Chains A and B, each alone.
Chain A
Amino acid sequence: MKTKTPSWRKTSPASYFLLASITFLSIFPFYWMFVVSSNTNAEISKSPPSLIPGGRFLIVAKKVMSAEGVFFNHALLNTFIVGLSIAIAQVMFSAVAGFAFAKLDFRGRKSFILFVVGTMMLPSQLGIIPLFMLVKNLHLIDSLLGLIVPALVTAFGVFWMRQIIDAQVPNELLEAASIDGASVPRVFFSIVLPIIRQSSFVLGLFAFLAAWNDYLWPTIILQSPQHFTLQVALTQLKPMYGLDYALQMGGAFLATAPLLILFIFVGRRLVSGVMDGAVKG
Chain B
Amino acid sequence: MALLKDVQGSHKPALTPWKKKSKKEDVFPGVRSLNGRWGHLFVAPFLIMFLVFGLAPVIYSVYISFFKWDPLGGSEFVAFRNFSLLLHDSDFWLALRNTFSIWALSTFPQMFMAIGFAAILRNTRLKGKSFWRTILLVPNITSVIAVTIVFGQLFGRDFGIINGILDFMGLNRHIDFIEGIIPSHSAIATMITWRWLGYNTLIFLASMLAIPNELFESASVDGATKWQQFRFVTLPQLRNTITFVLVVGTIGGLQVFAEPQQLAADGGSSKQFLTLTLFLYNQAFVNNKYGYAAAIGIMITFIVIIISAVNFFITRKISNDGTR
Q: By the criterion of a CB under 8 Å from any partner CB, how many residues of chain A are at the interface?
A: 108
The answer to whether B154 has its CB under 8 Å from any CB of chain A is yes
Determine which of A126, A251, A274, A281 lies in contact with B297 in the assembled complex, contact meaning CB atoms within 8 Å.
A126
The answer to whether A27 has its CB under 8 Å from any CB of chain B is yes
Task: Tell me if A270 and B237 are in contact (CB < 8 A).
Answer: no
Per-position binary interface string of chain B over residues 266-296, scored 1 when its CB falls under 8 Å from any chain A CB and 0 otherwise: 0000000000010011001100001001100
The listed residue with most B CB atoms (<10 A of its CB), out of A8, A44, A48, A274, is A8
CA distance A216 to B145 in the complex (A): 11
Task: Tell me if B161 and A215 are in contact (CB < 8 A).
Answer: no
Task: Tell me if A99 and B58 are in contact (CB < 8 A).
Answer: no
Task: Tell me if B42 and A220 are in contact (CB < 8 A).
Answer: no
Interface window among B79-87, B100-108, B181-189, B300-308:
B300-308
CA distance A133 to B125 in the complex (A): 56
Query: How many residue pairs bridge A and B at CB < 8 Å?
Result: 334
CA distance A130 to B55 in the complex (A): 10
The answer to whether A68 has its CB under 8 Å from any CB of chain B is no
A251: chain B residues at CB < 8 Å are 149
Q: By the criterion of a CB under 8 Å from any partner CB, how many residues of chain B are at the interface?
A: 113
The answer to whether A187 has its CB under 8 Å from any CB of chain B is yes
Determine which of A110, A126, A152, A253 lies in contact with B61 in the assembled complex, contact meaning CB atoms within 8 Å.
A126
Listed A/B pairs (29) with beta-carbon separation below 8 Å: A11-B125, A19-B132, A32-B154, A32-B161, A44-B159, A93-B46, A93-B49, A100-B39, A104-B35, A107-B36, A116-B50, A122-B301, A126-B57, A134-B56, A153-B46, A171-B31, A178-B34, A184-B38, A215-B145, A216-B277, A216-B281, A235-B145, A252-B145, A253-B146, A260-B141, A263-B141, A274-B137, A278-B241, A280-B207
Given A27-B138, A249-B149, list of 20 further CB < 8 A pairs? Answer: A6-B217, A8-B229, A18-B120, A26-B198, A33-B146, A33-B150, A47-B164, A93-B45, A97-B43, A105-B34, A110-B24, A123-B301, A126-B300, A130-B64, A178-B33, A231-B143, A234-B143, A271-B137, A274-B137, A278-B204
Interface residues of B (CB under 8 A from A): 24-25, 28-40, 42-43, 45-47, 49-50, 52-58, 60-61, 64, 71, 116-117, 120-121, 123-127, 130, 132-139, 141-147, 149-151, 153-154, 158-159, 161, 164, 167, 194, 197-199, 202-207, 209-211, 216-217, 220, 225-226, 229, 237, 240-241, 244, 247, 251, 254-255, 257-258, 262, 277, 280-281, 284-285, 290, 293-294, 297-298, 300-301, 304-305, 308
